[in-house]
Structure formats: structure tokens, C-alpha cells
Chains A and B, each alone.
Chain A
């Protein structure tokens, strides 16, 4: 297992392997995205309370759930950087931050667009919305911290600490709707009964959309990380070989 772990830490190994994965990931993402979007936007029946507004959920829930996965991922990568000084872990931690920022921003924006017709307001200072806004600023903070420190190693350490500390916000976001009374509704429990609230006709397309957006996230992360590998390893033999081969 440790051999595998050490191998995974090698940027070159990751670059070569992810290159083989990418076509499959593209294919799976395109398929799920096409099926999910068509189903969610055209075939999901109108909600008995919200009408067509329910379709916003099929974007809001996937982007929000992925934004919550980004911070723990960055924290774990940061911990690996601090303890094992694995080069690849810090590259992933650096690359996941802007993606997490985007997904958090999208979750806040789609939530506001949904809130205006349903709640009657774009924004409320309730625990769920506020903790999500804090996560948005934490991502801004991590990105700013990294660009403020010139030395790659020092920046890696500082960002790792901030990521580990900031990850405490994630359970707060997740359970805010249960711990406090909020305007945001709690998580739904899905039902396999087609004559009950949250029937399969509502959540199966949502599951497909979550899968599609997860793949989109993984692809974006891999592409960014591959660029970062090439930039940081530009002086190594295998990268120069790669460039001469692509030029010839």
C-alpha cells in the first residue's frame, strides 16, 4: 500500500495515468450531463408548490454538495503536504481552491435565484447561507494567501494550515439546518414510493446531475493539476522530453 501511496505522489506517474483516464471521464461526463440536463429541464414534472422553479434544484444541489467536498479535499491534501511533503498533494491543494470558490459561488447564486420567487428574498442571514458565504471568503483567503507568499514551500505550508483550520466550517454548513432554525430547508429524505413526497421521479435525475457535476469537477481538477505539474516540473527531464516530442 505504501508503494502505491509513494507512486501516487509522483507527479510524472499522475500525469501519465490521468492522461489515460481523461477520455473516459469526458465520455462519462458528457453522457450523464446530457441525460441529466434533458431529464431535469424537460421531463421532471412541475412541483405542486414551486412549479418550474424546482428545476433550479438540479443545478443548485450538485454544485453545493461538491463545494462542500472541496474544502475537506484541500485539508487532507494540506495535511499530506505537511506530514509527508508530497509534491503532488500541494499541487492538488492549490488547484482545488479556485474550483471550490467557483462551486461555492454558483451554489450561492443559484440559491439566491431560487430564494427570490420562493422565499420572497434573495438573501437571509440564516446559519446555512451565512456559513456558506464564510466558505466563499475562506476560498478567497486561501487563494490570496498562496499568491501573497513567493516561496512555493512556505506558501504550501501556510495554505495547508489555513485549509485544515477552515475545514471545520464544513460540518457547520452541513448541520446548520438541523442545529439552528433557518430559512433554508433541511435535507430531504428520498422515498422509493412513487406516491410519497420526494419520489424517484424527483431524485433519480438529481442523482444523475450530481454524478455529472462530480465528473465535471474531477475533470477540471485533473486538467488544472496537469498544468501545475508541467509548470513546476518544467526543468525535469521527462517534461522536456514531452515538449520536444509534442513539437516534433
Chain B
């Protein structure tokens, strides 16, 4: 390679490397602001002030969804399996909303520690499969759990 070409290539690589470092550092500094939502653990740690408009993301806790009898109002708990956030929402839920589903709720915390949401979005996970595959997986899982229960029963029987 000729020397002037080497020099140009050197300058280009130097600029690209310098910019990457600069952008990398600024993204690192901004990282908490780039996150779309707070996790329930962050909320529990007091990173959120009541009244501030935020998003909270987590799983809908099993058995926590309570629909109001007359209104659209719904109460549920969103969790990251370490901490919980009690969410109150009045409006139409996305089709994918159900227990165990990842969601992102937009709203604010009340001073009492309840999250009043003005919008609830469903998160989709990275797993795609047909109804049949899902049913087969669930059946296999049930069989595994049943087997474990039986084994436990037998081992307990041996002790008696």
C-alpha cells in the first residue's frame, strides 16, 4: 500500500475509533435514561418519586388480576419475581394481556405506593411456536410434574 493511502486509512480508522469511544461513553452515561421502563425492583428501591410520569415493566403475577364488576377498571400486580408493584388501570387491555405475560404500564405512583396506569402495553417474548407445539410442551411439563409428585409420594411411603 502506498504511504499516502496508509495515512488516509489511518485517519479514517482513528476517527471511527474515537467516535465509537465517545458515543459508547455517552450511551453508557445515558443508559438509565434509554431504558423504556423501570423494573419493580427499581421502584421498590425508591428510584421513582410519586407523581412522576414513568413506565413500569414486569410480569403479570399469577392470580392477581381482579376485574371490576361494572367498570373497565382492573387491578393487578406486576412483578420481576423479586419485588411487586400494585397496578390500577381503567381502559382497554391489549389482547395478549393475561397472567404470566410481560407488560409495560405507563402512569405514575401515588404517595400510597400504588401505580395508576393510563396505558398498558403487552410485551411479546422471543418464543414463537404453533398451538400444537405449545400444547405438547405443556403436556410434557404436566407429566414431568406429575412424575415428581408420584416419586415424592413413593419415597414418603417408604419411610412410613
Please tell me if A117 contacts chain B, counting CB pairs below 8 Å: yes
Cβ distance A125 to chain B, nearest Cβ, rounded Å: 7
Across the A-B interface, how many residue pairs have beta carbons closer than 8 Å?
125
Kindly report which residue of chain A lies nearest to residue B4, judged by CB atoms. Answer: A83
On whether the beta carbons of A48 and B104 are closer than 8 Å, the reply is: no
Chain A 166-183: CB-based contact to B (< 8 A → 1; otherwise 0): 011000100000011111
> Which residues of the partner chain A approach B120 to less than 8 Å between Cβ atoms?
120
A73, B2: Cα distance in complex, Å: 24
> Of residues 104 to 126 in B, which have CB atoms within 8 Å of A's CB atoms?
104, 119-126
Tell me which of A62-70, A93-101, A193-201, A220-228 binds B: A193-201
Majority DSSP secondary structure for residues of A touching B: loop
CB–CB B35/A164 < 8 A: no
- Is B131 interfacial (CB-CB < 8 Å)? yes
C-alpha gap A198/B133 in the complex (Å): 10
How many chain B residues touch A (Cβ–Cβ < 8 Å)?
A: 42
- A residues within 8 A CB of B95? 117-118, 120
Residues of A within 8 A of B5 (CB): 83-84
B140 touches A127 (CB 8 A): no
Q: A28 CA to B19 CA in the complex, in Å?
A: 40
Task: Pick from A54, A124, A127: contact of B34, CB below 8 A.
Answer: A127
> Does any Cβ of A come within 8 Å of B25's Cβ?
no
A47 proximal to B (CB < 8 A):
yes
Interface centre among B19, B20, B122, B140 (most CB of A within 10 A): B122
Query: Which of the four size classes fits the interface of chain A?
Result: 35 or more
Chain A nearest CB, measured from B80 CB (Å): 10
B116 to chain A, nearest CB (A): 18
Chain A residues whose C-beta falls within 8 Å of the C-beta of B36 in the assembled complex: 124-127, 180-183
Name the residue of chain A whose CB is nearest to the CB of B36: A126
Known A-B contacts A165-B19, A182-B36; A187 and B126 likewise in contact (beta carbons under 8 Å): yes
A49-B39 CB under 8 A given contacts A83-B8, A119-B122: no
**Quick one: closest B residue to A177, CB to CB?**
B126
Which B residue sits closest to A48, measured CB to CB? B134
Task: Using known A-B contacts A120-B120, A124-B121, determine if residue A45 contacts B132 with beta carbons closer than 8 Å.
Answer: yes
Task: Please give, as numbers and ranges, the residues of chain B lying within 8 Å of A183 by CB-CB distance.
Answer: 36, 104, 121, 123
CB distance from A14 to the nearest CB of B (A): 21
Report if B136 contacts A (CB, 8 A).
yes
Q: How far is the CB of B24 from chain A (nearest CB, A)?
A: 9
Residues of B within 8 A of A164 (CB): 12, 15-16
Closest to B5 in A: A83
Contact A50 B57 (CB under 8 A): no
Q: Which residues of A lie under 8 Å from residue B15 when comparing CB positions?
A: 164-165
- How distant is the Cα of A18 from the Cα of B123 in the complex, in angstroms? 45
Judged by a CB distance under 8 angstroms, whether B149 is at the interface is no
Is there a chain A Cβ closer than 8 Å to B72's Cβ? Answer: no
B48 within 8 A of A: no
Mark interface residues in A31-47 (1 if CB within 8 Å of B CB, else 0). 00000000000000111
Find chain A residues with CB under 8 A from B119 CB: 120-121
B133 near A199 (CB under 8 angstroms)?
yes
Is B155 part of the binding interface, using a Cβ–Cβ cutoff of 8 Å?
no
Contact partners of A47 in chain B: CB under 8 A = 128-131
A186 within 8 A of B: yes
Cα distance A47–B124 in the bound complex, in angstroms: 12
The 7 closest A-B pairs by CB, nearest first: A120-B94, A45-B130, A197-B127, A48-B134, A188-B126, A126-B36, A185-B126
Known: A46-B130, A181-B37, A185-B124. 7 other contacts (CB 8 A): A48-B135, A82-B12, A118-B94, A120-B93, A181-B57, A183-B36, A197-B128
A-to-B contact residues, CB < 8 Å: 45-50, 54, 57, 79, 82-84, 117-121, 124-127, 164-165, 167-168, 172, 179-183, 185-189, 194-199, 201-202
